[in-house]
Structure 1
Amino acid sequence: MTTWQEFAAEAPELAKTVRVRLKAAKHHVLATLRLDGSPRVSGTEVAWRGPDLTLGSMPGARKALDLRRDPRFALHGNPGDGSMMAPDVKLAGRAVEVTGDEQRAWVAEVKPPSEDSHLFRLELTEVTTTGVSADQTHLIIQHWTPTEGTRVFTRK
């Protein structure tokens, strides 16, 4: 698994694009896996805590329980107005629950509605952006993994 900080060091321009897109909207879509293996989508917010990309959750929320049982996730950044003027952003990886002193420090800083809210650090296995070329004739897809780095594809 790769932390946000490691990803940003390996692919700084891509990380900058992803960060700008995730900060452009408050709400994004998180996919987790239910007990039976079927997907569940939930609204979520993400934030950076130090070097880490994180998400929080209300105590006992289904998405938190899903992530505790099976940490695999996919996150689709809010696509905005649908114009594709800014690239679409998708991330996948594993969510690691933050507990103990670090979770308590987060609660003291962020002041979520409940002191027993969940905090997860997102470790990345892939990052993808899909955007439209400047001349609007084709898609530009950037795909990053820890093993292959960043690859760029175009599609007409």
Structure 2
Amino acid sequence: MNWAALCTAEPVLAGTVEQRFGAFTHHVLATLRKDGSPRTSGIEVRFLDGELWLGMMPDSLKVLDLRRDPRFALQANPGAGTDMGGDVRISGRAVEVGDGLPAKAAYVKEVEPPEPFHLFRTELTEVTRTYVEDETYLVVQVWRPGAPVRTLKRT
């Protein structure tokens, strides 16, 4: 499922997640190295035309990781520790968009990234928001494709 599917299924959660990612430019991407250990890297993301896009420098380690194993986790920049509406994370699979394809041309026209670059669209497997409610409860909202948001509260 792409970003548009989440927006249709759970518009409130999607809006909150998009707002959190929009609050800062740089976020954290986790990929898997060749030996299976995690690698974290800084990244800029874009929500555009119903997709969540990941743009990367040519032949960066995260590109090589995603080509080998497309699974990723993405965490929004937590900010300065002030109440930013919670912590949000997105997990899924990254699909590389090749040069000359209409989707990449549209992205280039809209974003004007430094070229050359690699572009990946995302297929979501989980979106999570964690926040504190009423200074009492830790609330965790979890969405997976094909299911409604599941909300857990802990004191």
Normalising by structure 2, report the TM-score: 0.93
CA contact (8 A) 1:3 1:52 kept: yes
- C-alpha distance in 1 between matches for 2:89 and 2:154: 18
- C-alpha distance in 2 between matches for 1:65 and 1:149: 34
Equivalent residue letter for 2:56: S
Please name the residue that 1:52 is paired with. Answer: 51
Please name the residue that 1:126 is paired with. Answer: 126
* 1:108-119 alignment, distance < 5 Å: 108-114=109-115, 116-119=116-119
Please name the residue that 1:91 is paired with. Answer: 90
Which ranges of 4 or more aligned residues in structure 1 deviate by more than 3 Å? none
Q: Per-residue deviation at 1:119?
A: 0.6
Q: Per-residue deviation at 1:138?
A: 1.3
SS in 2 for 1:127: strand
* 1:31-46 alignment, distance < 5 Å: 31-46=30-45
- C-alpha distance in 2 between matches for 1:109 and 1:136: 41
Equivalent residue letter for 1:30: L
Q: Per-residue deviation at 1:12?
A: 0.7
- C-alpha distance in 1 between matches for 2:57 and 2:84: 33
Please name the residue that 1:150 is paired with. Answer: 149
Gaps of 5+ in 2: none
Q: Per-residue deviation at 1:84?
A: 3.9
Residues matched between the structures, number: 153
- C-alpha distance in 1 between matches for 2:48 and 2:68: 23
CA contact (8 A) 1:143 1:150 kept: yes
Normalising by structure 1, report the TM-score: 0.92
Equivalent residue letter for 2:136: T
